[in-house]
Amino acid sequence: MPFTLCGPIIRQFLFLRVSNPVRLDKFICECTSLTRSSAKKALHRGEISCNGVVVTDPGFKVTEGMEICLDGVPITLVGERYLMLNKPVDTICSTIDEVYPSVLSLLTIEKPQTLHIGGRLDADTTGLVLITSDGQWSHRVTSPKKDCAKRYLVQLAEPVDNSLIAIFAAGVQLRGEEGLTKPAILEILEPQRVRLTITEGKYHQVKRMFAAVGNHVVGLHREQIGQIALDPALALGEWRYLTAAEIASI
């Protein structure tokens, strides 16, 4: 079972899965920005505790369920990393930089290259991107079989009317695809500004759905994936770790 995070989240942490006991000095330097020698000094100074008791032995074995604190702040391990990012335009949801930089380059954390992106957005789309080291979790976000809803705010070139609600609910034929799109929920906010919720993630799906009805998407922003809404406190380009409740909701 992976470790779960308790207490405040400390940035710059590398979270790791520990199936076997780990030396305390190794644990500290892998979980924080401390080097092995600074971890040993912190131990020597009595700054590290395990389950409330100061530990000074660098060789002390950390096992699952222990709460290790540095200066009183828990650095309990989690098995995986999960975060949300407010993606700006001109970044891409690839793990490597191509024409535009990868969204991973916006993450001020250790080893971002070990993470992957659950549900990609186009370079000109903004909004919620979920990023994790947990492949099974991101599969639940992206697999069409899991019916994980993605909600978008869409700015359109042409006005729409209420008849489109039933059309999208019934499914539309995308060029090059075999069947109709799965039922989608359209909410018309203004004639050229709508909210669309889909449970699939076909290539350029939102843009192609509006193209299929003779319209054109001029602005696209993802607001929500499943129960996880983009945190309004995050400006474009900013990120935060997901809460335990958000992780469990997928």
Residues lying near ligand URA in the complex (CB under 6 A) are found at 121-122, 125, 204-207, 220
Active-site annotation holder among 122, 124, 134, 147: 122
Backbone phi, psi, residue 142, to 5°:
-95, -25
List residues bridging with 126 in a β-sheet.
221
Tokens of 223: 């607001």
CA distance 86 to 119: 13
147 among known catalytic residues: no
**Whole-number minimum distance, CB 93 to ligand URA, in Å?**
8
CB of 86 to ligand URA, least distance (A): 14
Structure tokens at 200: 């699939």
Q: Minimum distance from CB of 174 to ligand URA (Å)? A: 10
Catalytic site positions: 122
